[in-house]
């Protein structure tokens, strides 16, 4: 995933909306929280598996489930590489930000 395309909370796809709606659909105001969570998660998983059509093609189903999960909360972008930092244009704000992010990541990785 490109850093420039990353959104912490992207617009949900129709598949992701249906999955979340299925989870929320089982929640009742009088249901205890611990039961509510388990029931909503179960409904969420069942809807995702139904959309992925696990019974037809497990490989494609896995990819579908992965896409739904990524849409619900995408992974943050990878930190800049040394090659990207070397190629950054330091005369631009984006270039300076990229080098700053590279150095910040380098500092965290080298601490004991």
pLDDT score at 46? 76
For the chain, the structural domain boundaries read 3-72, 79-112
pLDDT score at 73? 65
pLDDT score at 95? 94
Contacts 24+ apart (CB under 8 A), 57-64: 64/15
pLDDT score at 10? 64
CB atoms within 10 A of CB 86: 10
Q: Are 18 and 47 in contact (CB under 8 A)?
A: yes
Looking up tokens 């037809």 gives: 56
Report, as ranges of residue numbers, the positions in the chain whose pLDDT lies below 50: 1-2, 33, 35
Model pTM score: 0.40
φ and ψ of 51, to 5 deg: -65, -35
**Distance in angstroms (rounded) separating the CA atoms of residues 72 and 20:** 9
Looking up tokens 């090659």 gives: 83
pLDDT score at 62? 79
Q: What is the largest CA-CA distance in the chain?
A: 59
């Amino acid at each position: 995933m490109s850093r420039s395309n990353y959104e912490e909370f992207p617009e949900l796809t129709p598949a992701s909306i249906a999955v979340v709606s299925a989870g929320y659909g089982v929640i009742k105001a009088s249901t205890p929280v611990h039961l509510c969570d388990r029931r909503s998660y179960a409904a969420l998983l069942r809807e995702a598996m139904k959309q992925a059509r696990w019974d037809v093609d497990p490989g494609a189903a896995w990819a579908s489930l992965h896409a739904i999960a990524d849409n619900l909360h995408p992974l943050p972008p990878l930190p800049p590489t040394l090659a990207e930092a070397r190629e950054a244009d330091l005369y631009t704000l984006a270039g300076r930000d990229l080098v700053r992010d590279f150095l910040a990541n380098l500092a965290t990785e080298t601490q004991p």
